[in-house]
């Protein structure tokens, strides 16, 4: 089953539209992914009934130093791979 079943999309103003949907994943799902999809195409969600207002922003955080270290490890061949290539 999908998380959302899109019901209707219609224009209510020159630059405003309404998207109605059924949240099939309730109570475990949320509208986060749907909001991200809409915003990914350059639109703005101004009201979200699921969150009773403007949807809160979720920020994905990550450790830049740790990511840099992991990328360097991937780019540097390990001693084992060098030894296998030489034999």
To the nearest whole number, what is the mean pLDDT of the chain? 76
Average pLDDT, integer, range 7-31: 82
Average pLDDT, integer, range 42-68: 74
Beta carbons within 10 angstroms of residue 31's beta carbon: 19
Q: Is 19:9 a contact under the CB 8 Å cutoff?
A: yes
Task: With a cut of 60, say whether residue 79 has pLDDT above it.
Answer: no
Residues 53 and 83: their CA atoms lie apart, in Å, by 60
DSSP state of 33: H
Delimit the domains of the chain by residue range: 4-51
Residues 65 and 59: their CA atoms lie apart, in Å, by 18
Tens digits of residue pLDDT in 60-76: 566 778 888 888 888 87
Confidence (pLDDT) at 3: 78
Average pLDDT, integer, range 31-45: 83
Confidence (pLDDT) at 25: 72
């Amino acid at each position: 089953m999908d998380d959302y079943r899109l019901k209707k999309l219609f224009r209510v103003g020159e630059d405003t539209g309404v998207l109605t949907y059924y949240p099939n994943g309730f109570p475990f799902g949320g509208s986060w992914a749907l909001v991200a999809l809409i915003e990914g195409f350059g639109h703005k969600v101004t009201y979200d009934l699921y969150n009773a207002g403007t949807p809160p922003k979720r920020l994905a955080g990550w450790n830049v130093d740790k990511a840099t270290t992991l990328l360097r490890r991937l780019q540097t061949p390990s001693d084992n791979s060098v030894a296998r290539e030489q034999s």
